Structure formats: C-alpha cells, structure tokens
Amino acid sequence: MNNLSKNFFLISFLPALAYWYLEAYYPIKVAVTGGIILSIVEISLEKFFTKEIHTISKFNFFLIVVLGALSFFDNKGIWFKLVPGITALAIALFFIYQNKKGKGVMGDMMVEMLKGKNHPLIQIIGLNGLKGWFQKMERDMGYLCLFYGIFMIVIALWGSSDQWIFFKTIGFYIVFILFMIAEFILFRNKLKRQQEKFLLNQYLRQQQMRKRMEER
C-alpha cells in the first residue's frame, strides 16, 4: 500500500467528464460547479484508497478550484479547460528538471529494487546503465508532457469541448500507449546489443583463461 500511495494518483478525469457532460445541457456555472464537486470526490477517493494525496493531485486540485472559480465568475469555461494543459506542463518541468540534476523517480526505484541482487539485467546492462535508461525514459516523458500540455492549451482555446474531452481522456491514453510501445522497442533493441556485447566479452574471457591454462 505504501508503494501504491507513492505512485498512484488521479488527474482530474472525473471533473473533466462532469464538466463536459454538464456544459452540453446546463449553463457554464452549473458545469463548473459539477467539476469542482467531482474534484473533491476524486481527491477524497485517492486519500481513502492510498492513505495520502500525491503532490500532483494537490496541485491539480488547486488549479481546478482557482480556475474553476474564474470560470464561474467570468461565465466562461475556458479557464476550467486550461487545467489539463497547465498540469501537463508542470509535470513536464518536473521530469525535465529532475533529469537535468541526474535524478529520476523510476531510475532510483529500479536501483533500490535490484541493488545487491544477481539479476540478469544487471549482468548485461549494469546497474548504472539501467538507471540511465530509465532516466532517459523519464526525460522523454517530460518532453511528451510538454508537447501534450501545449497541445491541450491550444485545444482549450480554439477547440470544441468534444475535442477537449477526447484528448483529455481516450486520446491521452492512445498517445501514452504508443509512447510506451516505442520506448519498449528501443529498450529491447538496446538490451539485445548489450547482450551480444556481454556474450562476446564472456567468450573472450574464457578464451584468455583457456590460453593461460594451456601455457602452464
């Protein structure tokens, strides 16, 4: 449960769906109010299931309340619809900043999990190599979130509510799945090259040891 609480968090899917549905049938103020109420429900569910609230969830909830209030009093939904884009930009900056410092959530987690263990991945690619790869993936995720955040702001400003909710939910999942498939293929190719290099080095060492034994 501790690991779940550190890595699981919601990012305003329920408030976005509530706003999109209510906006189609009711005034903006009703839609925004529904979105804010669902954001309270969402963050309460996260607290109930994980026993804590992730920093990103707190930041996102703050945005929903502040920008939702602006939409309520301005009677324009544009403020509320900016939340996903701004949240994505914040996540992007976090990943990129951590990468510049040589840190990474997933990389550090993998090092802690595999430290002191005779895992095949460590033998082939090395602990530092594995950490470096996950840091690279986090950097790529940072750039993905950066472009996604900019795109969502553009959609919020000039797109329809249907386009906005699509890219907020299903569209995001499609892009993220394609991203993970691409990262997996790259990792598999790198691992294959490292494995060939590892086997070659093992063969050369065996040949050297055999030669030394013959010389004796």
Model pLDDT, residue 8 = 46
Residue 111: per-residue pLDDT: 64
CA distances to 6, 31, 170, 177 from 173, in Å: 21, 24, 5, 6
For residues 54 and 103, what is the distance between their CA atoms, to the nearest angstrom?
A: 19
Q: How far is CA 119 from CA 111, 165, 181, 206, in A?
A: 11, 43, 24, 21
Give residue 133's pLDDT: 76
pLDDT at 107: 66
Q: Which of 30, 11, 6 is nearest to 20 (CA)?
A: 30
Please tell me the predicted confidence (pLDDT) of residue 177.
Answer: 94
Query: In this structure, what token pair is assigned to residue 71?
Result: 């939409």
| DSSP per residue, 103-120 | --HHHHHHHHHHTT---H
At residue 50, the pLDDT reads: 81
Q: Please tell me the pTM assigned to this model.
A: 0.80
Q: Consecutive 10-residue runs of the chain (216 residues): their mean pLDDT?
A: 45 86 95 94 86 85 94 95 94 89 71 64 64 83 95 96 94 93 86 67 68 67
